[in-house]
Amino acid sequence: MASQRKLVYWIALLGALHGVVVCAGFFSPYDPEEQVRTRPYVPPMRIHFVDARGSIHLRPFVYDIRPREGAFDEYEEDTGRTLHLQFFVRGAPYRLLGILPGRLHLFGAGDARVYLFGGDGYGRDLLSRILAGGQISLLAGLLAAGLALCFGLSIGATAGYFGGLTDDVLMRGAELFLALPWLYLLFALRAFLPLAVSPLEAFLLVIAVIGTVGWARPARLVRGVVLSAKERDFVRAARGFGASGAYLLRKHILPQTASVVLTQAAILVPQYVLAEVTLSFLGLGVPEPVPSWGNLLANLQQYSVLASYWWMYLPAAAMVPFFLGYLGLASALQERADAPKIGA
């Protein structure tokens, strides 16, 4: 089936992308928080195979940089010093998944620093920071979507199954949350929570805020599915045989909401990643020095950075493939849900 195959492709793409981010420590050459204050705003280094004298190297290399005469943040390639890229080298220690200690990196260049994606104002490696920031932003998006879906599923199922007054009250509540422009709501909720917090607290706070704001839409959709599901013949038959409400919900009704919930998840995750990015961009989310895609982009709020250092824009570009993956996944899931089921 074509839609099934599409689904597999999209899942594979997303899996690969997330794999890179999960193993950020391995793929990034340096510690994302390590500073080199003498080298602010290093531009991305070009990878060469042919050196200045015209001879070809099999091992890719970059030229080291030296400050241009009379400037503090402008550099030129120092063609006298080639830095050969070495693969699978030992470098800065990191922890895989936050637990497993490791020192192995995909590439490095001995003691010299190679900035493939450029560096920021403190001389931190942007590639390492983008990868580490992805961990924060994606995890926030995933957890927030999980939270919102949990709320949405339970509230929607309750409203749909019990109906009557419960339904009315819960759905009026959902309408309230849907009536607010969601970014404003996010702001309002964030406004009344403490501002100066540690990165971990801020991270959890952001997830909680986004999750709380986002339950309404999935709840409405789940309620709709539950309403129609509980009237289906086999559910009524089960009820006739004396099945309890909890059993009915768990065994017969909730499984029918699976496709809606999955599609919603694929839609919500990128949206919530973006919510985290927005909050952090505005200084209401995860604070420095911990990188997130949002606070990496926050540098661009300074005019000088925006005007002079185009590579500070790269974190935004890094988001695009992820969003593409989720968009594809959502449409493939939708297609599968709409396709007539075999044997149904």
Partner 1 sequence: MRYAFRRFLHSVFLLFGVSVLTFLFTTLAPGNYFDEMRLNPQIAPETVTALRAQYELDCPLPVRYLRWVASVARGEMGFSFAYNSPVAPLLWVRARNTLLLSLTATFFAWCIALPLGIWSAERLGRTPDHVVTSATAVLLVIPDLALALGLLLLAVRSGWFPPGGMVSVGFASLPWPRKLLDIAVHMALPVTALVLSAIPLLIRHVRAAVAEVLETGFMRAAQGQGIPRRRLLYRYALPAAANPLISLFGFSLGALLSGSLLVEVVMSWPGLGPLLLEAILARDLYVVIGGVLLSTLFLVGGNFVADLLLYWADPRIRTE
Residue 175: how many other CB atoms lie within 10 Å: 11
User: Residue 253 or residue 319: which is nearer to partner 1 going by CB?
Assistant: 319
Q: Which residues contact 308 (CB under 8 A, 6 or more apart)?
A: 41, 73
User: Residue 132 or residue 274: which is nearer to partner 1 going by CB?
Assistant: 274
Residue 64: how many other CB atoms lie within 10 Å: 18
Binding partner 1 (rule: CB under 8 A), the pick from 49, 87, 184, 247 is: 184
Q: How far is the CB of 260 from partner 1 (least distance, A)?
A: 18
User: Residue 23 or residue 180: which is nearer to partner 1 going by CB?
Assistant: 180
Residue 134: how many other CB atoms lie within 10 Å: 25
# residues contacting partner 1 (CB under 8 A): 41
Residue 36: how many other CB atoms lie within 10 Å: 15
At residue 72's C-alpha, the angle toward residues 66 and 73, to 5°, is 75
324 binds partner 1 (CB under 8 A): yes
Binding partner 1 (rule: CB under 8 A), the pick from 27, 122, 187, 311 is: 187
Binding partner 1 (rule: CB under 8 A), the pick from 167, 300, 335, 336 is: 300
- Distance CA(236)–CA(256), nearest Å, equals 15
User: Residue 54 or residue 194: which is nearer to partner 1 going by CB?
Assistant: 194
User: Residue 254 or residue 284: which is nearer to partner 1 going by CB?
Assistant: 284
User: Residue 112 or residue 178: which is nearer to partner 1 going by CB?
Assistant: 178
At residue 202's C-alpha, the angle toward residues 197 and 208, to 5°, is 135
Residue 21: how many other CB atoms lie within 10 Å: 20
Binding mask 229-248 for partner 1 (x = CB under 8 A): --------------------
Binding mask 251-290 for partner 1 (x = CB under 8 A): -----------------------x--xx--xxxx------
Q: What is the DSSP string of 2-54?
A: HHHHHHHHHHHHHHHHHHHHHTHHHHSSS-TT---TTSTTPPPPPPEEE-TTS
Q: How do beta strands 86-96 and 100-108 pair?
A: antiparallel
97 binds partner 1 (CB under 8 A): no
- Distance CA(288)–CA(294), nearest Å, equals 10
User: Residue 24 or residue 185: which is nearer to partner 1 going by CB?
Assistant: 185
Binding partner 1 (rule: CB under 8 A), the pick from 303, 338, 343, 344 is: 303
- Tell me the CA distances in angstroms from 92 to 19, 128, 321, one per residue in order: 20, 11, 27
176 binds partner 1 (CB under 8 A): yes
Residues at the site binding partner 1, with contacts judged by CB under 8 A: 172, 175-176, 179-185, 187-195, 274, 277-278, 281-284, 297, 300-301, 303, 306-307, 310, 313, 316-317, 319-320, 323-324, 327
